[in-house]
Structure 1
Amino acid sequence: MDFGTIGAGTVAQAIAAHLAAAGNQVTISNSRGPETLREVAARLGPSVSAGTVEQAASADMVFLAVRWPEVREALSGLPAWSGRILVDTTNVLPNAPALEELGVETASEFVADLAPGARVVKAFNTLYAEYIAADPRHAQGRQLLFYAGDDASAKDDFRAVAERIGFAAVDAGPLREGGRLMQVGGGVLSALHALKQD
């Protein structure tokens, strides 16, 4: 399985670093083009390359890690998803239009609408960036990583990847119910930083 990131900020780089450390091929991308990411890719390791958004989105598992106002543009004009996994790490900002105005109840339902054919998993949005970037393995246990989704096999694949890079993955349920629990501004799992004792 290969991986891509749409977005190359703190969260995307943290995820890419964990994936690369586990020996995976990762393509990172941003809206400004791969030439702006050569140094970042080199710093993250030899298995990380800079590519276009289209190249990153063609990976088996793609992490959407852009700011909420950029979600629509980031997902527009991409090739058909054809069942590939899209991991939505985004959070709705407090000053963004209400989700009801977008015709959905959770942010990831909106993302799923923008990426027809993708198997969407919500993850990493409940953790502050420093907890994502740090080694998830601690003497006291492993960092909990909540995830949600409607496709059981996509969730199984995501869980396997998350566990392989050191997180203790916890299924929060379907996109709607789990998404509500994980959403900023009321979700009980949002900003819940805890460890699982193994």
Structure 2
Amino acid sequence: MDQHRRHVMSDAIIGFGAIGKALAAMFARKGIDVMVATRRPPETHAAEARSIGPGVRAVTLEEALAADTILLAVPFRGHVEVAAAACDWRGKTVIDVTNGYGVPEEELGGASPASVVAQAFSGAQLVKAFNHLPARLLAQDPSRDGGRRVIFVTSDDEAAADTVCALVERLGFAAIKLGKLDEGGALVQGRGNSWGRLIFKDLVKSD
């Protein structure tokens, strides 16, 4: 049963800017199928998606929202529109790849950017990951210096964090859990005019 479930699980990236393309390259490198979607019709970026890898498929936003795991790779304020595009987020794992740098504290209402995103995706299992490195590093082969590039994972849902850690490892990276969104997660979130202390830290875990 577990093998069948792994076989049918689907992944989608929403957003196809520099970060979205880097994420797609990660999946393509490992031969893992992934859907990519934006607010634009899929034919506008279908050729570019195929050029990244044969398993990278441009789809409509509606098709992407049907995936089991959704990587949110839009500008921070764009999460509101994505969240509103589906009426029910239950059973979904949403990986928040956004950064709230430049978003005024008052706009966040005293909450962390990840917590604000989590509130918008009510019912989903929200996990923060893949957001602390720039696109050029995410797109590179994560194997280096005798180890693997580190991806930090944080969530208020332990089971969801474990699920995303497994995906991180499948993609060739080393997953390190930092705890809950408002605890260790503060180390990998940008907000206002400040970056978390682990943002842009390119670390390698020795194997």
> What is the TM-score normalised by the length of structure 2?
0.89
8 Å CA contact 2:114, 2:189 repeated in 1: no
CA RMSD of aligned residues (A): 1.5
Identity value in percent: 39
Q: Unmatched 5+ residue regions in structure 2?
A: 1-8
The number of residues matched between the two structures is: 196
Q: Unmatched 5+ residue regions in structure 1?
A: none
Question: What is residue 15 of structure 1 aligned with on the other side?
Answer: 23
Question: What is residue 124 of structure 1 aligned with on the other side?
Answer: 130
Instruction: Tell me the distance in 2 between the aligned counterparts of 1:117 and 1:37.
Output: 30
Which SS does the other structure have where 1:126 is aligned? coil
Q: Report 1:179-194 matches (<5 A).
A: 179-184=185-190, 185-194=194-203
Match of 1:40 among 27, 45, 48: 48
After alignment, is 142-151 or 45-54 more displaced? 45-54
Q: Report 1:139-150 matches (<5 A).
A: 139-150=145-156
8 Å CA contact 2:70, 2:93 repeated in 1: yes
Match of 2:107 among 79, 101, 105: 101
8 Å CA contact 2:148, 2:172 repeated in 1: yes
Segments ≥4 residues shifted beyond 6 Å: none
Which SS does the other structure have where 2:32 is aligned? coil
Question: What is residue 167 of structure 1 aligned with on the other side?
Answer: 173
Instruction: Tell me the distance in 1 between the aligned counterparts of 2:173 and 2:145.
Output: 13
Q: Report 1:145-156 matches (<5 A).
A: 145-156=151-162
